[in-house]
Chains A and B, each alone.
Chain A
Amino acid sequence: MQTTAEIAAQISAEFSLLENWEEKYDYLIEKGQNLPDMPDDLKSDEHLVKGCQSSVWFVTECREGRLYFQTDSDSLIVKGLAALLVELLNGQPAEAYQNVDLSLFDTLGFWRHLSSQRSNGLTAMVSFLKAAAEDCAAHHGA
């Protein structure tokens, strides 16, 4: 399995081909659209990540020290960001979540573009995943 650093480099390379904001968002939205929809019964309050203007859900599963997750959002942009997190982190060892380098989002420009808004869920999504990964590591260790 590729490391998160390798995956981040790949995503950066893909986005570097895009010339303007419209193209970048187009691509981000496509990433979101390619993510499978989450079944409605999983979109419960229990799986809702707070701190976003849009609704975003995460369902996580810890298997042998690796954290897997599926995610969905009613916003295609947020779902696109979540899709990048899936590419970057899904199935990685729990430790990888704690050290994840989010400069990828700086490189893409979305961080600057979106994070000035309270509504941006990226920070909340990453905090949620880190907490789940911490639990996963603790259980695996025990």
Chain B
Amino acid sequence: MGKTLFEKIWESHVVVEKQDAPSLIYIDRHLVHEVTSPQAFDGLRMSNRKVRRPDLTIATMDHNVPTTDRSLPILDQTSSIQIQTLEKNCKDFGIKLFDINSPNQGIVHVIGPQLGITLPGTTIVCGDSHTSTHGAFGALALGIGTSDVEHVLASQTMWLEKPKPFEIRVEGKRKNPHAVTAKDIVLSIIKNIGTGGGTGTVIEYRGEGITDLSMEQRMTICNMSIEAGARAGLIAPDEKTFDYLRGREYTPKNYESLVDSWRENLKTDGDAKFEKQFTLHIDDIAPQVSWGTNPGMTCDVTESIPTPDDFSKGDVNQKKGAEKALDYMDLKPGTPIEDIKIDRVFIGSCTNARLEDLIEASKVIKGQKISPHVKAMVVPGSQMVKKQAEEMGLDKIFIDANFEWREAGCSMCLGMNPDILSPGERCASTSNRNFEGRQGTGGRTHLVSPVMAAAAAIKGHFVDVRKMDLS
């Protein structure tokens, strides 16, 4: 019987195979950031261990770096200590660090692909759940906790129970690909399969609706695999993948021979079997807006807030969850999504802060001003994205529209730095999680695409962006 892409990568990385138990797998790339690594380095010191492969370990600081003027000292003492700790750990253990002043600094999942560190067919781990992003390149990319970070630092391996392959087919063509984006595709998937729909699996996204996407759009899809509960999500590499990585700073010297082998091997065989299957037809899907407190609580922009009964379809806990979500979000069933007024707009995060995201958002706001009651910010995913955007003059478009234009980092996606919502504030956000308090205590998050976030900033409420001229 044939094998899935995931099974091929798995088999080429197994060090010790165990039936019905975790296997030890080799890790090709380990990405490290300031928040989930300090205890892991302390653990190494306590047990007198070294980093096994510092040459395969890359670090940056992204989660709690300030996104304002970086020539100023960091005011938050605890953030400052965490950043200094990473600097010291990287120096002590001989790890390459892109620090706060590096032109390569940025969100770890943005810089990996951008620097050619992320490669097809590899295993990649990082102490961050959105590591699934790198799956867009046909890598098996897993988010791990701090104990596993220490294990990988010490051994370049980790134990893993073999996940089951899950095929998600995205079929058809979007009528308006500027208005209905990769974010809308992945939110539609999660809305359908649920936040636990992918538990214990590695999703392979396939079909015309996926191969049509650019690399940056594919990253948005794979990024949110974790929001469906999956261990990872991946997409078979193709010519777009190979072109994207060619000639980047850390792309291997023997790249073309690697491409030949990837082209040959990194695909799911015709007779391979998936344990689970789901198909989404995208010809007629609408822009999506989340209304609740998990990414599965999402509906079309043209719909109204559902009643807890309609949402739960008879599941008691789902109903309770919806009731609590509506209470937290201060929304009433029956309210049209387009009537929801917003206070803040955040364009950023490892989901949607790449150059294409900023280009698409800038088309919506060019020559306009944001609504007077809205505060809006753009936080590019990396300093390189910021620089490229500035070379294109995008910063001027955003600033002229009264957006704030910031330095790169995770920022308001997770509320670790000063970029947070105030209690009760409602935000149109291009990030990945609308959990209670995620963007700041009492803050209310609506997950949307960059185009929708930009349109909401201008209008002050959500709008059907298909009616706008985005060409």
| A and B interact | no
Interface of B with A (CB < 8 Å)? none
Chain A residues within 8 Å of B, Cβ to Cβ: none
